[in-house]
C-alpha cells in the first residue's frame, strides 16, 4: 500500500539514523521508498528542509502528494525543494493534491514542535512492523496514512454540481432583462473558469499518477537487475 510516512525525532542525529534504517529496509526489499526528506523545526518555530539532504532514490517521484506535505510542514523551504524536484516553482500548496486528510497533517504539525526533527517519506509497504520496529529503535514516533484516491470522485461530484449550476445560470440569462444579463454573465464566466480549473487539476493528477506508476516500474526493474548482478 502506498503511504505517507512521518517519523518525529528529538534531534537530527536520531532522524538521520532513522533515514539510514529506511534506506536499509528499501535495500532489503522490505519496503519501497519513493522519496524522503528531513525537516527540522527551529527553536523559533520555523521549519526547514536540511540543506544537502538527499531527496530519495528517484527525485522525480517527489510529486503532488509528497511535495504538498513537504510544503505544508516546511513552508517556503519545502516548496523550494519541491520545485527543484520538478514541481512548478512558486506554486502554492494545493490541499486537494495532498490526499491524506487534514487530521493527519494536524497531528504531525503538533508533534513537530520546536527543536524536533521529522523524517518524511513516501513509501510502499505490505505491513507496518518492519518500519515501526526500526523507527522506534531509533527513538522515533511514527505517523502514517494511506494515500487516498477518493479525491478524484469528490472532484467529479463537485464538477457535476457546478455544471448543473452553470446550466441554470445560462437558462436564467436567456430569460433575463437587459439590466440583469451583465451580472448573470459575470457569474457564468466565473463558474465556467472554476469548472475549467477543476478539470485541469483532475487531468494533472491523472498525468502525475501515470508518471509515478511508470517510474515505479523502473524502480522495481533496477532493483531486480541489482539483485541479479550481486
172 and 97 co-located in one domain: no
Instruction: Single out the residue in 89, 118, 147 at which a domain terminates.
Output: 147
Domain count for the chain? 2
CA gap 65, 38 in Å, rounded: 16
Cα separation of 40 and 119, whole Å? 9
Q: How far apart are the first and last CA of the chain?
A: 28
Do 165 and 131 lie in one domain? The reply is no
Chain position carrying cell 518492519: 130
Domain identity same for 106 and 198: no
What pLDDT sits at residue 130? 92
**139 and 164 housed in the same domain:** no
Copy the grid coordinates of residue 172. Answer: 436564467
- CA 149 to CA 125: how far, in whole Å? 17
| pTM for the model | 0.64
Q: Model confidence at 95, in pLDDT bands (50, 70, 90)? A: low
- CB contact at 8 A, 46 and 74: no
C-alpha cell belonging to residue 135? 523507527
What is the share, in percent, of the chain residues with pLDDT greater than 70? 77
The residue among 147, 179, 201 that closes a domain is 147
Shared-domain flag, residues 105 and 173: no
Same domain, 128 and 181: no
Q: Same domain for 97 and 166?
A: no
Q: What share of the chain is helix, strand, coil (3-state, %, to 5)?
A: 60, 15, 25
CB–CB of 145/4 below 8 Å? yes
Residues 130 and 209 in one domain: no
Domain end among 110, 132, 147: 147
In which domain, by residue range, is 171 found? Answer: 151-229
How far apart CA 29 and CA 164 sit, in angstroms, is 49
User: pLDDT tens, 128-186?
Assistant: 889 999 999 999 999 988 876 545 655 676 788 788 888 988 998 998 888 888 888 99
Amino acid at each position: 500500500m502506498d503511504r505517507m510516512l512521518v517519523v518525529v525525532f528529538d534531534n537530527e542525529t536520531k532522524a538521520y539514523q532513522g533515514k539510514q534504517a529506511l534506506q536499509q529496509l528499501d535495500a532489503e526489499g522490505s519496503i519501497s521508498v519513493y522519496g524522503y526528506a528531513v525537516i527540522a523545526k527551529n527553536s523559533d518555530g520555523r521549519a526547514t528542509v536540511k540543506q544537502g539532504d538527499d531527496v530519495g532514490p528517484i527525485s522525480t517521484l517527489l510529486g503532488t502528494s509528497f511535495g504538498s506535505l513537504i510544503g505544508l510542514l516546511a513552508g517556503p523551504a519545502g516548496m523550494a525543494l519541491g520545485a527543484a524536484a520538478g514541481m512548478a516553482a512558486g506554486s502554492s500548496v494545493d490541499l486537494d493534491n495532498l490526499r491524506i486528510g487534514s487530521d493527519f497533517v494536524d497531528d504531525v504539525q503538533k508533534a513537530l514542535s520546536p527543536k524536533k526533527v521529522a523524517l518524511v517519506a513516501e513509501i510502499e509497504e505490505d505491513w507496518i512492523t518492519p518500519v515501526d520496529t526500526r523507527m522506534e529503535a531509533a527513538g522515533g514516533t511514527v505517523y502514517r496514512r494511506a494515500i487516498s484516491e477518493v479525491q478524484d470522485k469528490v472532484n467529479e461530484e463537485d464538477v457535476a454540481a457546478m455544471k448543473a449550476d452553470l446550466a441554470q445560470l445560462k437558462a436564467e440569462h436567456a430569460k433575463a432583462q437587459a439590466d440583469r444579463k451583465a451580472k448573470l454573465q459575470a457569474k457564468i464566466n466565473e463558474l465556467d473558469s472554476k469548472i475549467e480549473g477543476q478539470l485541469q487539476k483532475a487531468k494533472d493528477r491523472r498525468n502525475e499518477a501515470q508518471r509515478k506508476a511508470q517510474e515505479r516500474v523502473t524502480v522495481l526493474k533496477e532493483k531486480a537487475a541489482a539483485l541479479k548482478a550481486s
